[in-house]
Amino acid sequence: MAITRDEVAHLARLSRLALSEEELDTLAPQLDVIIGAVARVAEVAAGDIPPTTHAVPLTNVFRADITGPSLPRTDALAGAPATQDGRFRVPRILDMDE
């Protein structure tokens, strides 16, 4: 097993995904197969090969330090699930018992 059900549960927490027990049951073996298949990358990529992080070799793409228009606040907040006093209202950041 490349990946266990517990590991999937940990990854789900790290990526903020509430998964059902059934989802964990199906995902763990699927991911195990996928990881087994993709692990083939280790066969060819030797140590002296540089990784490619950007396909087109551009560097130093800059913008000048000039201000442009910002969104009107009503637009910025328009898609928000909840707002208050011109701010985005979000649930408590710490759990109740913290």
Partner 1 sequence: MTPTATTTATIPTFDDAVARYEPVIGLETHVELGTTSKMFCGCSTAFGAEPNTQVCPTCLGLPGSLPVVNEAAVRFAVMIGLALNCSISPWCRFARKNYFYPDMPKNFQISQYDEPLCENGWLDVEADGKIHRVGITRVHMEEDTGKSLHVGGATGRIHGATHSLVDYNRAGIPLVEIVTEPDIRSPEVARAYVDELRELCRALTVSDVRMEQGSLRCDANVSLRPRTAPGEPAAPYGTRSETKNLNSLRSVERAVRHEIVRQATRLDAGLKVVQETRHFDEASGTTSAGRSKEEATDYRYFPEPDLTPLALTHEYVDAVRATIPELPAQRRARLAADHGFTPADIVNMRNAGVLDLVEETVAAGATAEAARKWWLNELARRAADAGVPPIGLAIGPFDVARITEMIADGELTDALARTVITGVLAGEGTPDEVVAGRGLKIVSDDGALAEAVDKVIAAQPAIADKVRGGKLNAVGPLVGAVMKAMKGQADPGTVRKLLLERLGQ
Partner 2 sequence: MRIGVVRELSGDGYDIGVRARFSDTLEVLVGLGAEVVEVSCPHFTYALPAYYLIAPSECSSNLARFDAMRFGLRVGDDGEASAEEVMSRTRGIGFGPEVKRRIILGTYALSSGYYDAYYGQAQKVRTLISQDFAAAYERVDVLVSPTTPTVAFRLGEKVDDPVSMYLSDLCTIPSNLAGGPAMSLPVGLADGLPVGFQIMAPAFADDRLYRVGGALEAALEARRGRPFLDDAPPL
Looking at the Cβ atoms of 13 and 73, the one nearer to partner 2 is 13
Identify residues 68-97 at the interface with partner 1 (CB under 8 A): 68-71, 73, 76-77, 84-95
Count of residues making up the chain? 98
Indicate which single residue of 4, 6, 25, 34 sits in contact with partner 2 (rule: CB under 8 A).
34
Say how many CA atoms lie within 13 Å of 32 toward its Cβ. Answer: 13
Distances (CA, A) of 27 to 10, 60, 76: 13, 41, 37
Q: Which residues bind partner 1 (CB under 8 A)?
A: 13-14, 16, 53-54, 58-71, 73, 76-77, 84-95, 98
